[in-house]
Amino acid sequence: MYLKEIKVIFHKELDPLYPKEEVDSFFYMFMEHYLELERFSLVLQPNTIVSKEEEQPFFEGLARLRKEEPVQYILGEASFMGLKFKVNPHVLIPRPETEELVSWVIKNYEGKSHKDLKILDIGTGSGCIAITLAKLLPKASVLALDFSNMALEVARKNAELNNVEINFLNADILDLNIELGFEFDCIVSNPPYVREMEKDQMGNNVKNYEPSEALFVSDSDPLKFYTSIAAFSLGHLRPKGSLFLEINQYLAMQTKQLLVNNHFKEIDLRKDIFGNFRMLKGTRP
């Protein structure tokens, strides 16, 4: 079969479900992943033929896309700040908003001597935050925790894939007795923050496939992770150490207030590229 015919079938089957450009992008991602062909190769060699064996993953993937499964789970990988990460349904797919948070952390430390910099990532999931920080701040030592062993398994593989050394720990951040026994210069976290009431705004690709324990919190206590993380950070940050958080845009003021109430200083609330309050930094006195 001609490769370009498969592209036509992708559009016929998926255009009712996704914007045309997204269908193009799915197709090109499949081309790169399964055939190691760049997207422009279809223009240069429009009559590329694929064997029965080669076309099989395209049609299997197409069937999964029709059920609105995220393309990253189908391919088993996602990219984050130019790095590759393995993903499966036990971990959240890394988001562009989180890239902005990580860029902020890096800007905060790069150029400065960060020889003994100790960083903790809370709720590491795929490990995207911890691993990118370890890669881009190579002198830092990084610890990453999650309460999911399945997620930690993926994160460990990703650390290996990206050639960085990270210490991983299985721990529950809601357990107020958690005690690590040492202090950090920087604590960063993208904890679960989507309220049940916001579920309707999310696509089926998120609701039906991504791990709900990574995303959702109750309507009655939506900041419970931030409450725990703030208390934990007060006890585990060095004086002048920084806490960086990704936050729910609808709860920005309350989350900021929570840091004020916990005596954090130099509080900085920032918007993402879409103009939504998404990131918060506080400094331990």
Ligand X SMILES: C[S@@+](CC[C@H](N)C(=O)[O-])C[C@H]1O[C@@H](n2cnc3c(N)ncnc32)[C@H](O)[C@@H]1O
Residue with Cβ nearer ligand X (9 or 83) = 83
What one-character-per-residue DSSP string does 166-191 give?
Answer: -EEEE--TT-TT---SS-EEEEEE--
**What SS3 class is residue 87?**
coil
Minimal distance, residue 182 CB to ligand X, in Å = 18
Select from 243, 259, 277 the least CA-distant residue to 97.
277
Minimal distance, residue 40 CB to ligand X, in Å = 31
Minimal distance, residue 143 CB to ligand X, in Å = 13
Minimal distance, residue 47 CB to ligand X, in Å = 41
Residue with Cβ nearer ligand X (142 or 214) = 214
**What SS3 class is residue 242?**
strand
Which residues of the shown chain bind ligand X in the complex (CB under 6 A)?
92, 94, 98, 123-126, 128-129, 146-148, 151, 172-174, 190-192, 213-214
Residue with Cβ nearer ligand X (61 or 127) = 127
Minimal distance, residue 29 CB to ligand X, in Å = 19
Minimal distance, residue 190 CB to ligand X, in Å = 4
Length of the chain: 285
Tell me the CB-side half-sphere exposure of residue 153, using CA atoms within 13 A: 6
Residue with Cβ nearer ligand X (58 or 225) = 225
Residue 209, both tokens: 């496939």
H or E element: which one contains 142? strand 141-146
Rounded CA separation 24/42 (Å): 12
List the beta bridge partners of residue 170.
Answer: 146
Note the Cα 277 to chain centre separation in Å. 17
Residue with Cβ nearer ligand X (60 or 172) = 172
Residue with Cβ nearer ligand X (41 or 108) = 108
